Amino acid sequence: MMVYEALLIPVWFYSYSTAVYAATALISFMISYFSFRLYKMSSLNMNLMMMLIFVFMGVASSVLATTSYYTYMSNKSFKLYENLYGVVNYGFIVYYTLSLAAYILLTVMYLPRSFRDRLFAAYMPLWYLDFTEFHIVSAILVGYITLMNFANFMKKRKIDSLLVLIAFAMIELSHVMMMLTQFDAVLYLVAHAFLAAGFTSLLAMLIRVSRK
């Protein structure tokens, strides 16, 4: 069995991740509010589902923004994995659960209609509520969503579709980088840069779509 040395994450990294998670939370809430307005206008359930997905993402990011800030304010370096056994641990559990719930709902949206009801329960086991497992499962789910968005972009060739494709590709890379953080702490910064780029791309799509 391979044993990894826990890496020392400099405290200032957490100020950076606090800013990134706060920004992703804000963008998520903006998209969920947009979906809510569409739901009020149309009464179509797909809007409600989209709203729920981004509320989950928004709350998950808010929780991590809070825990990152908490860690930053503790004003000392500590080992990444030891950190999971403090107050921050609860934040991560909320983040894992809500992020996975959001990814699962998104995956279900891309399933053919006939599969949507039957396969839903198959995704729900909770064994992956741990750092590495969470990122592996997330990378698989977001990878599937990215592939579906790639197919959508190839079919439509529209800028809005390209922006969503870029967003999910960046979120995918963010999860992959997070998995590799155990090898090099700098990848923690790279992962957050990908996450920020992904949500910026979603924000650009939202601005374009809501303009007209």
Partner 1 sequence: MIEHVRPERRSKASILQDILRAIHNKGGRSRPTHILYAANLSHDRLKKYLESLVANGFITKQQDGEQTFYEITQRGLEFLSGFNKMKRFFDAFGVEI
* Site of interaction with partner 1 (CB under 8 A): 34-35, 38, 41-44, 46-47, 50, 109-110, 148-149, 151-153, 155-156, 158, 160-161, 163-164, 205, 209-210, 212
Please, what is the minimum distance in Å from the beta carbon of residue 141 to partner 1?
A: 15
Q: Which is nearer to partner 1, 73 or 119 (CB)?
A: 119
Please, what is the minimum distance in Å from the beta carbon of residue 175 to partner 1?
A: 19
In 3D space, the residue among 191, 192, 204, 198 whose CA is nearest the CA of residue 146 turns out to be 198
Q: Which is nearer to partner 1, 79 or 158 (CB)?
A: 158
Please, what is the minimum distance in Å from the beta carbon of residue 121 to partner 1?
A: 21
Buried b (16+ CB within 10 A) or exposed e, 181-202: bbeeeebbbbbbbbbbbbbbbb
Alpha helices in 74-185 (DSSP H): 87-110, 113-119, 131-156, 159-180
The one-letter amino acid at 138: S
From CA 91, how far away is CA 96, in angstroms rounded?
9
Please, what is the minimum distance in Å from the beta carbon of residue 61 to partner 1?
A: 19
Q: 79 pairs with which residues across the strands? A: 8
Q: Which is nearer to partner 1, 76 or 212 (CB)?
A: 212
Q: Which is nearer to partner 1, 167 or 179 (CB)?
A: 167
